[in-house]
Amino acid sequence: MEPHYQHLYEILANAQGYIFPNEIDLQWGILIVVYPFITGLVAGAFILASLERVFKVKILKPTYQIALLTALSFLLVATMPLISHLSQPQRAYEIMITPHSSSAMAIFGFVYLWYLMVVLLLEIWFDYRHSMVVWSNEKKGVMKWVYKILTLGVSDISPRTVKWDRKLGYIITVVGIPSAFILHGYVGFIFGSIKANPWWSTPLMPIIFLFSAMVSGISLVMLVYMVISHIRKKVIDVNVLDAIGKYLFFVLILDFTLEGLDQIQRIYEAEESFEIIKLLVSGKLYLTLFVAQGLVGTIIPLITLAFLQFYKHKIKLRKTMYFIVSILVLIGVYSMRWNVVIGGQLFSKSFSGFTSFKVGLIGLDGTLMAAFWLVLPIGILAFLLWLLPPWKMVEEEE
């Protein structure tokens, strides 16, 4: 026995029932849990920003740029967990040059590029172009040139041109909403299209992923808004929180309903795989599904948000409640990703047994690596907020 296989022998000894011999090692670990979590945050944050822009929700104005920059920071990192889990990461470029048209994963590369290049970057660029030109004129030295390069050398800030920035930005936003839906629905499709895995294979998967994405993105923006205001020593506008909270409440209801329907359908149809899935959710997934995802991530936030709709508590208490709710929801959505990705690999495709999974701390597929990819976007966001501060933007009259 080579020490290299030590952990596999341990899992083999702990396997329950019968699993195919090749199933002992889990193929997708914590990095693939982090990947849909991050893309979900992107899509959710963007959709919240679009609400303000397309549906003219004025109250959300203070969170608009923050939401966009948050989306960008996470999107820049979104593919990294994927690439770092490859066993041949140096060949990752092949996905772009010879994409297999029938593979969900291959087309994701293009969906991602479309969303990054055509939607997010462009929208932010149109938003900031006027300000960047002004900043480039004000600053000296390196920063002058940084802003100049960022404007792609278009220094025209005549009212007519600036008006076009707004017009084009609006068009991009309108295109962006379906794009954001597609981006995250597509991540759901990567799992939902695997017919070999009954825990994944449901046509509802893309939709469930989408709504949980919106839930997590909205919570994140709420959280980021509170943290940024706190750091900048600015007053947190509780009306903004109320408005976001209302959206969060409605989307959370939808998300909860959809996931509930999915489970009811499963239980009622009780197909071939039902017995093993019943054992899975009542056993190995009990904590992460019923406690973390259900109770902590959905039921408690739902009740809290419902209360906040009807009772107007003291402002300080409301703020604290929103703060806690947003964190709980994020934990809940993370658990949902865990339940899908890890849960789907714990039972054997023979439907007769379970393997087990233990996350390591170090190594390419360990907790530290996953934590790194989750923390990095926050660093990027801090940098972007420094480079493109929303609060220093040039005011434009409507």
Q: Is 95 exposed, middle or buried (0-12, 13-18, 19+ CB in 10 A)?
A: buried
Considering beta carbons, is residue 28 or 250 the nearer one to another protein? 28
Give yes or no for residue 4 binding another protein (CB under 8 A): yes
Select 63 or 179, whichever has its Cβ closest to another protein.
179
Distance, in Å, from the CA atom of 346 to the CA atom of 341, rounded to the nearest integer, reads 9
Interface residue with another protein, options 39, 84, 298, 345 (CB under 8 A):
345
Beta bridge partners of 16: 354
Q: How far is 398 from 382, CA to CA, in rounded Å? A: 29
Residue 2 vs 395, nearer CB to another protein:
2
- Which residue reads 């973390």 in tokens? 292
Shortest spacing between CB 21 and another protein, in angstroms: 5
Task: Please give the structure tokens belonging to residue 53.
Answer: 């822009």
Closest to another protein by CB, 50 vs 348, is 348
Burial class (CB in 10 A: 0-12, 13-18, 19+), 90: exposed
CB of 309 to another protein, least distance (A): 41
Indicate the residue among 138 and 156 with the shorter CB distance to another protein: 156
Contacts of 362 (CB under 8 A, 6+ apart): 368
Return phi, psi of residue 16, to 5°.
Answer: -105, 135
For residue 32, give every residue at least 6 positions away whose Cβ sits within 8 Å of its Cβ, in sequence order, or none: 81, 82, 85, 341
- Cβ closest to another protein, residue 32 vs residue 38: 32
Task: Work out whether 110 is an interface residue with another protein (CB under 8 A).
Answer: no
Q: What is the CA radius of gyration of the chain?
A: 23
39 sits near another protein (criterion: CB under 8 A): no
Q: Assign 354 to helix, strand or coil.
A: strand
Which one of 10, 14, 61, 100 is in contact with another protein (CB under 8 A)? 100
Q: What is the DSSP letter of 116?
A: I
> Of 195, 233, 316, 392, which lies in the binding site for another protein, with binding defined by CB under 8 A?
195
Bridge-based pairing of strands 16-17 and 353-354 is antiparallel
**Does 356 sit near another protein (CB under 8 A)?**
no
Q: Is 93 in the site for another protein (CB under 8 A)?
A: yes
Could you tell me which stretch among 39-47, 53-61, 150-158, 383-391 binds another protein (CB under 8 A)? 150-158
Q: CA angle at residue 111 from 107 to 115, to 5 degrees? A: 165
At its nearest, how many Å lie between another protein and the CB of residue 76? 17
Minimum CB–partner distance for residue 352 and another protein (Å): 6
# chain residues binding another protein, by CB under 8 A: 66
How many whole angstroms separate alpha carbon 219 and alpha carbon 248? 7
- Using CB under 8 A as the binding rule, whether residue 238 contacts another protein is answered as no
Convert residues 298-337 into a mask of x (bound to another protein by CB under 8 A) and - (unbound): ----------------------------------------
Of the candidate residues 165, 255, 259, 365, the single one contacting another protein (CB under 8 A)? 165
Distances (CA, A) of 20 to 17, 281, 303, 346: 10, 20, 43, 12
Q: Given the complex with another protein, which of 17 and 389 has the nearer CB atom?
A: 17
Q: Is 193 a binder of another protein (CB under 8 A)?
A: yes
To 10 degrees, the CA torsion angle through 175, 181, 184, 187? -100
The CA–CA distances, whole Å, from 265 to 206, 261, 286, 381, 395 equal 16, 6, 19, 41, 52
Beta-bridge partners for 353: 17
Pick from 21, 142, 316, 397: which binds another protein (CB under 8 A)?
21
Closest residue by Cα to residue 301 from 248, 238, 375: 248
Give least dist CB 171 to another protein, A: 11
Which backbone phi and psi does 389 adopt, to 5 degrees?
-65, 120
Query: Judged by CB under 8 A, which of 27, 235, 316, 395 binds another protein?
Result: 27
**Least distance CB 31 / another protein (angstroms):** 11
Q: Which range binds another protein by CB under 8 A, 99-107, 212-220, 254-262, 290-298? A: 99-107
- Residues found near another protein in the complex (CB under 8 A): 1-2, 4-5, 8, 12, 17-18, 20-25, 27-28, 82, 85-89, 91-106, 109, 117, 122, 125-126, 129, 152-154, 156, 160-161, 164-165, 168, 193-197, 272, 345, 348-353
